[in-house]
C-alpha cells in the first residue's frame, strides 16, 4: 500500500472515530436531558413553584392568575418534552398504555366534563391533570437505566428533604404550623416543611421512607438510609397520625404480599383490610349497625368527626349518582348547596376526606367503577406478572408499596385524579411502573416480554 493510500485510510479512521465520539457525546447529552426532565418533574410536584406559603396571610388561598399560568405552562412543557423523548425510544411502552379500559375511563371523564356543573373549571383542571399524569406515567421510562432512575429519585428526595429541614431551622414561621395560621391554628407546632399543610407533608415523607428503603436494598448504603432516616424523623414531627400509622403497616403488608405466591391470596391480603377500613369510615354513616360497631372501638375511625363531611358528600352523591357534579368542580362553593343540613365543617371542607367517595361525587358512580379496575385491581395483577418473570424485584416492591399506601391513604384523604397533588403523582408513577414491569424487561427498556 502506498503512502497516499495509507494517509487516506488513517484519515477515514480518524473521521470514523470523530463520528463515533460525536455520537457518544450526543447520546450522553440525550440521556442527561432525560434524567434532567425526570428530576425537574419530581421537584415541580414536590417543591412546587410556590414553596413555603405563609399561612398567616389571609390571601394565601387566593389564586393568582399569573402564578397559575406559569404552573400550567411548566407542566405542559415538561409533559410535551417527555412525550417526545419516550416516543422516540420506547414506542412499544407507550402503545401498551392504550387499552380499552384506559380509553373508557378517559372517554367517561370527557363526558363528565361536558356535563359538569362548572364546565370551564372542569376543563381547566382536567388539562392540568392530563399534563401531570402524563409526566407521572412517563417518568419510569425517562431515565435510560434503572441505576439512573435510582439516582433521579435519590437526588429529588435529597433536595426536598434539605429544603424542608432548612425551612424548619432557618424559617420556622414558613415551615411549621403556628397559632397565627388563619385556617387551622390548632395545628401549631406540627412541621409542614415546604408544603402548605402537614397533611401533604406527612404522606410525602412516608413515601420517601419507602424510597430510602428501596435505595438501601439496591446498594445505596449511604444515600438510602439517609433518606429513610431523615424522612422518618420529619414524618414524626408532622404529627400526621394517619400517615405515621400507615407507614409501617403498609410496608409490612407489602412485604407479606411480596412473599405470597398466589394472586388470589395477594388480593385477599390487599383488599380485605381496605374494604374493612372503608366500612369503618364512610360505611359507619351509611349503616346504623356499622356506626354502632365503630363507637365500640378504642379509636375514632371518623378521624375527629369527619362523619359530618361524609354525610354531606353522600347527600351530594344521591343528587347526581350517575353523571356526578363534574370533575374537580364540586367543592369550590359548597356553602350555598341545599345538602349542607347545617353541618358547618362540611360546608367549609375542601374535599370529602375519602378518595373513593370524592370520585363518586364528582365523576359519578360509573367513573368510580372505571377507576377501580385501572388503579385498584390491575396494579396487583401487574405486580404478580412482574414477579413471575423476576423483573426488578426491589423496584417492583417499591411500586407495590407506594401503590398500597395510596389505596389505604385514600380511605381518609382525597388525592385520586387530583391534578398536581404530589401523592397522586407518586401513586400514578407507581401504577405505571408496575404496568411497564409486567410487560417489559425493565423500566428503561421497551423489549416486549416473550
Residue 8: the pLDDT is: 39
- CA 382 – CA 236 distance, rounded (Å): 33
Q: Give CA separation, 322 vs 111, 123, 285, 443, in Å.
A: 11, 19, 21, 37
- Global pTM value: 0.89
pLDDT at 66: 60
Say which residues have a Cβ less than 8 Å from residue 442's Cβ, sequence separation at least 6. 146, 391, 392
Model pLDDT, residue 12: 42
> CA 75 to CA 269: how far, in whole Å?
37
User: Angle 263-280/241-259 helices, nearest 10 degrees?
Assistant: 160
Report the pLDDT value the prediction gives residue 28, as an integer from 0 to 100: 82
What gap in Å lies between CA 415 and CA 428, rounded to an integer? 11
**Residues forming beta bridges with residue 448, ordered by sequence position:** 440
CB atoms within 10 A of CB 90: 22
Burial of 263 (0-12, 13-18, 19+ CB in 10 A): middle
> d(Cα 407, Cα 355) in Å, to the nearest integer?
9
Give the DSSP per-residue string, 202-237: HHHHHHHHHHHHHHHHTT-TTHHHHHHHHHHHHHHH
The Cα–Cα gap between 387 and 84 comes to: 30
82 close to 206: Cβ distance less than 8 angstroms: no
What cell numbers appear for 143 in the block? 431515565
Closest by alpha carbon to 438, among 397, 379, 394? 379
Q: Which residues of the chain have a pLDDT value below 50?
A: 1, 3-13, 16, 19-20, 23-24, 27, 338-342, 345, 444-450
- Compute and round to an integer the Cα radius of gyration of the chain: 24
**Cα 413 to Cα 187, 197, 275, 291, distances in angstroms:** 17, 13, 15, 20
Amino acid at each position: 500500500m502506498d503512502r497516499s493510500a495509507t494517509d487516506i485510510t488513517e484519515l477515514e479512521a480518524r473521521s470514523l472515530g470523530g463520528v463515533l465520539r460525536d455520537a457518544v457525546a450526543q447520546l450522553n447529552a440525550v440521556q442527561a436531558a432525560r434524567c434532567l426532565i425526570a428530576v425537574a418533574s419530581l421537584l415541580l410536584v414536590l417543591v412546587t413553584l410556590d414553596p413555603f406559603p405563609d399561612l398567616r396571610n389571609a390571601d394565601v388561598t387566593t389564586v393568582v392568575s399569573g402564578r397559575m399560568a406559569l404552573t400550567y405552562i411548566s407542566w405542559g412543557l415538561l409533559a410535551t418534552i417527555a412525550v417526545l423523548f419516550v416516543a422516540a425510544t420506547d414506542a412499544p411502552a407507550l402503545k401498551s398504555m392504550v387499552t380499552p379500559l384506559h380509553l373508557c375511563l378517559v372517554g367517561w371523564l370527557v363526558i363528565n366534563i361536558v356535563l359538569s356543573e362548572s364546565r370551564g373549571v372542569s376543563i381547566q383542571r382536567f388539562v392540568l391533570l392530563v399534563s401531570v399524569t402524563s409526566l407521572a406515567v412517563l417518568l419510569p421510562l425517562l431515565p435510560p437505566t434503572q441505576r439512573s432512575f435510582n439516582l433521579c429519585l435519590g437526588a429529588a428526595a435529597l433536595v426536598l428533604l434539605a429544603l424542608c429541614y432548612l425551612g424548619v431551622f432557618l424559617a420556622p414561621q414558613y415551615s411549621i404550623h403556628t397559632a397565627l395560621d388563619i385556617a387551622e391554628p390548632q395545628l401549631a407546632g406540627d412541621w409542614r416543611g415546604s408544603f402548605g399543610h402537614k397533611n401533604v407533608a406527612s404522606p410525602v415523607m412516608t413515601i420517601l421512607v419507602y424510597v430510602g428503603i428501596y435505595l438501601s436494598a439496591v446498594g445505596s448504603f449511604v444515600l438510602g438510609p439517609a433518606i429513610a432516616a431523615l424522612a422518618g424523623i420529619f414524618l414524626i414531627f408532622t404529627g400526621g397520625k394517619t400517615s405515621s400509622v400507615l407507614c409501617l403497616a403498609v410496608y409490612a403488608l407489602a412485604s407479606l404480599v411480596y412473599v405470597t405466591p398466589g394472586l388470589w391470596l395477594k388480593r385477599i391480603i390487599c383488599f380485605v383490610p381496605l374494604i374493612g377500613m372503608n366500612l369503618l369510615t364512610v360505611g359507619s354513616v351509611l349503616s346504623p349497625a356499622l356506626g354502632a360497631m365503630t363507637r365500640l372501638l378504642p379509636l375514632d375511625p371518623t378521624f375527629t368527626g369527619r362523619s359530618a363531611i361524609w354525610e354531606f358528600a353522600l347527600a351530594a352523591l344521591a343528587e347526581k349518582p350517575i353523571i356526578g357534579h363534574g370533575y374537580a368542580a364540586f367543592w369550590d362553593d359548597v356553602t350555598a348547596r341545599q345538602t349542607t343540613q347545617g353541618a358547618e365543617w362540611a360546608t367549609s371542607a375542601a374535599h370529602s376526606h375519602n378518595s373513593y367517595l370524592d370520585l363518586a361525587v364528582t365523576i359519578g358512580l360509573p367513573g368510580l367503577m372505571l377507576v377501580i379496575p385501572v388503579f385498584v385491581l390491575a396494579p396487583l395483577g401487574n405486580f404478580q406478572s412482574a414477579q413471575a418473570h423476576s423483573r426488578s424485584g426491589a423496584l417492583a416492591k417499591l411500586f407495590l408499596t407506594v401503590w398500597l399506601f395510596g389505596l389505604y391513604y385514600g380511605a381518609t384523604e382525597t388525592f385520586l385524579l387530583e391534578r398536581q397533588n404530589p401523592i397522586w403523582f407518586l401513586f400514578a408513577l407507581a401504577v405505571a411502573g408496575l404496568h411497564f414491569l409486567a410487560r417489559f424487561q425493565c423500566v428503561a427498556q421497551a423489549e416486549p416480554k416473550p
